[in-house]
Amino acid sequence: MSRVGKRPITIPKGVDVQVAGESVTVKGPKGSVVTPILAGISIETKDGFLNLMRAGEEKKDKALHGLNRALLQNAVKGVTEGFKREIDLVGIGFKAEKKATEVVFSVGFSHQVKFPVPAGITIDVAPDAKAKDITHVIVTGVDKQKVGQTATEIRGIRPPDPYKLKGFRFVGEILKKKAGKATGK
């Protein structure tokens, strides 16, 4: 059996799990997430636990077993705690400003970059403790994939430069600075 797939998922109090056809709907205090049931996987709810069983013993079935369990675990965690990604804007004059349904970035281009906030995602702009400027962006939501995708799209506006290390970076991201051009005589 898959080591990940065979572990039961604990359903916390206040979380409602509905198995319907090819999908599972998980509702909780922070929102609702719909997760697909992959081919060859069956789900059973019993005594506050979700158990996943697979139909076959092929390598693909074992992989899908662990994947589906991880997706469901993330859905349960998302509706109870939520997911968060933080981005720092590193550079002189870089700043972000939240408007009604979009975030406007001033990042050294000749124009401001407007980023629309996707449905189900909350983007907050907070002052960074060190810079005392609006250079810290927090992306939160209940769907781990959506939060990560949105944070990556924001980072893609101005990825870190390998020579000066200016740009958008995730909090805790480790960057290696490349050596500049050496004078050769």
Q: Which fold has domain 9-80?
A: Outer Surface Protein A; domain 3 (3.90.930)
CA–CA distance, 13 with 21 (Å, rounded to integer): 24
pLDDT at 5: 85
pLDDT(183) > 90: no
Same fold, 9-80 and 83-170: yes
Q: Name the DSSP letter for residue 140.
A: E
Interval 82-112: pLDDT, tens: 999 999 999 998 999 998 899 999 998 999 9
Which is nearest to 165 in space by CA: 84, 92, 96? 92
pLDDT at 30: 93
pLDDT at 128: 61
Phi-psi region of 45 (alpha: psi -120 to 50; beta: other; left: phi over 0): beta
Interval 35-63: pLDDT, tens: 999 888 999 988 889 999 998 888 888 88
CA–CA distance, 31 with 27 (Å, rounded to integer): 6
Mean pLDDT of the chain, nearest integer: 90
pLDDT at 182: 81
Residue in the block written with tokens 């369990």: 69
CA–CA distance, 38 with 23 (Å, rounded to integer): 9
* CATH (residue range 83-170): 3.90.930.12
Reported pTM: 0.87
pLDDT(138) > 60: yes
State the pLDDT confidence band at 77, using cuts at 50, 70 and 90.
very high
Domain positions in the chain: 9-80, 83-170
